[in-house]
Chain A
Amino acid sequence: MSPVLDILEAVDILLRALENSQRFAGLVEQEGGVSDADLEHEEALTQESLDKLQQRIMDIKTERSESQQSTQGDGR
């Protein structure tokens, strides 16, 4: 991987962490605390993140299973 891509990847990870932290810090400090509606919104975002993670796990499992089937097919 080229140095430029490595740097872009590092910046991407940093920006994602910053976005989450800033959003939450804004709720707590600038808007006078987390309201019930904010908490529900955070719950929805958390569910979204967990769903994305589950989808990624399922994708990898599917890829692995397809690759195994293809290897077995080649062996026959």
Chain B
Amino acid sequence: MLLAKLTTTPLSRRPVWRLFLMGFTLIVFAVLSACAGSPKLVTFNDKAGAVLVSIQNAADLLIVALDKEKISVEDAEKIQKDLTLLKFDVGQSKRLYMLAGKQDDANTNLSNARAALTILTTDLKKRSEK
């Protein structure tokens, strides 16, 4: 509701406290991502784990977007299927890495999954800004 109101009301009509709150939220997000959100990913497990955490965050964001009616159920369903496929990709990469010993293929798979997740999350943020 808050994000919905902040992003749909023209700037000139937003109450001062809402603008302050939006600024405060952005600053807190920036501080959080600087402090906790960017660990150094060294091993394959680190990278795979990061993709999984991003999928969890995207799923949480999608639930919020659904509750705030910022996204249709049909679109949410499509994105949910994409997220499930991305989780499957991580599992596939893990098998390639650990069982087949194909480190390069596993890392490429993982990089593709991360890129797809970035596109998906950006799209989700754009939708909630409309």
Residues of B near any A CB (own CB < 8 A): 1-2, 5, 17-18, 21, 25, 28-29, 32-33, 36-43, 45-46, 48-50, 52-53, 55-57, 59-60, 62-64, 66-67, 73, 76-77, 80, 83-84, 87, 90-91, 94
Contact = CB atoms under 8 A, between A and B. Distances in A.
Interface string A10-51: 100110111011111101110001111011001101110110
B17 A3 contact: yes
A34 B44 CA distance: 9
A45 B33 CA distance: 21
A50 to B, nearest CB: 6
B63 A42 contact: no
A56 B61 CA distance: 12
* Main DSSP-derived SS at the A contact region: helix
A24 B49 contact: yes
B45 A50 contact: no
Contact of B80 (A36, A42, A43, A57): A57
A53 to B, nearest CB: 5
Contact of A56 (B25, B39, B63): B63
Given A16-B60, A52-B63, A53-B80, A25 B36 contact: yes
A48 B64 CA distance: 16
B78 to A, nearest CB: 11
